[in-house]
Amino acid sequence: MVNRVTVLGSLNVDNIMQIKRLPLPGETMTMSAKQIAGGGKGANQAIAAARSGAITAFIGKVGEDEQGRLMKKYLTEANIDTSSVTLAAQETGQAFILLQESGENSILVLGGANQAITNDDIEQAKDKISEADFLITQFETPLETAITAFKYAKENDVVTILNPAPAKRVPEELLKNVDLIVLNETETELLTEIKITGEDSWSTAAEKLAQLGVKNTIITLGSKGAYYKTTTAEGFISAFKVNAIDTTAAGDTFLGALSSQLHHDLSNIEEAIVYASMASALAVQKLGAIPSIPEVDEVNNALGGADF
């Protein structure tokens, strides 16, 4: 069965600036190269889901500008339904990525049209939510629209997946309608006030999230792997060992790929995490966000010869 995934999220044009290291205060440095690519957490996650075979729809906004047309083109080329991607008076969102030689990155985001999404837009896109198996959102769009969309999703038996990034406090009104939360170590620490130091802390943090109302958790741990805890299972999946060139879309690729494979009851969460981990491992070996996200055949072929 093919999953139907709807993403409420951001559409950004990424300006990638390749540098040796981060500059010190007051220091002027030269860049070794600069590229422009499609991105935004929402777009990355949607394209990752679509390229892994999910029937995908997007709820978002772009400006009436060249960047907006470019972002819609990226979605359309991935066979994503863009009928709920509408125009805003603001310019299309942009991200400025400082990519170091180590593969690590620092990102500055200009929200632009992404911040113009309103509850009226959610109302107009209700059919895209109710028809989905999974609804995904992040925090690069207004929080109130996430609350509205997740409430409607739960009324229609749609599984909700929250990626609380960029990291911020999550209101109880949203948490109570989250079925699965996927977050990294920084986001986990902010939300639970538990320092992530090892296996015991992963489990303790997941228990804290359950107390807050989220019963199913995946904590992504970068090059180490991913920890998961649901109402019926708990475990850790090691990451695939690769030489990372650009980690910009690693987490987004993981989440989108995950949503394409998960069963509605999350019963295959371990297998879905293995698939998502491989998709992410492939993505970090290429430059750029959207250009690096693999197709389903590429992931399955890599899994055929994978070492854990």
Domains of the chain as residue ranges with CATH: 4-11+40-92+112-304 (3.40.1190.20)
- Segment among 36-40, 211-215, 247-251, 304-308 with least mean pLDDT: 304-308
Residue 1 has pLDDT above 90, yes or no: no
pLDDT digits (tens, 9 = 90+) for 71-83: 999 999 999 999 9
Question: Would you say 44 is a known binding-site residue?
Answer: yes
Q: Which residues are within 8 A (CB) of 90 and not within 5 positions of it... i.e. 6 or more apart?
A: 63, 112, 113, 115, 116
Q: Is 95:39 a contact under the CB 8 Å cutoff?
A: yes
Return the percentage of the chain with pLDDT > 90, whole number: 84
Rg for the chain (alpha carbons), in Å?
A: 18
Find the catalytic residue in 200, 252, 265, 307. Answer: 252
Q: Which amino acid is at 266?
A: L
Phi, psi of 153 (to 5 degrees): -60, -45
Output the pLDDT for position 270. Answer: 97
Average pLDDT, the chain: 94
Question: Would you say 199 is a known binding-site residue?
Answer: no
pLDDT tier at 259 (50, 70, 90 boundaries)?
very high
The single residue listed with the structure tokens 């979605």 is 75
How far, CA to CA in Å, does 73 sit from each of 13, 35, 81, 82, 211? 12, 18, 11, 10, 42
Question: Would you say 56 is a known binding-site residue?
Answer: no
108: β partners: 96
Question: Would you say 13 is a known binding-site residue?
Answer: yes
Q: Which residues are within 8 A (CB) of 288 and not within 5 positions of it... i.e. 6 or more apart?
A: 14, 16, 35, 37, 38, 39, 246, 248, 249
Question: Would you say 243 is a known binding-site residue?
Answer: no
Active site residue 252: yes
In the chain, what is the straight-line distance between the N-terminal and C-terminal CA atoms, in Å?
27
pLDDT digits (tens, 9 = 90+) for 123-159: 999 999 999 999 999 999 999 999 999 999 999 999 9
How far is residue 99's CA from residue 40's CA, in Å, rounded to a whole number?
Answer: 16
Residue 69 has pLDDT above 90, yes or no: yes
Question: Would you say 213 is a known binding-site residue?
Answer: no
Vertex 226: Cα angle to 234 and 159 (nearest 5): 70
How far, CA to CA in Å, does 96 sit from each of 82, 283, 291? 25, 19, 16
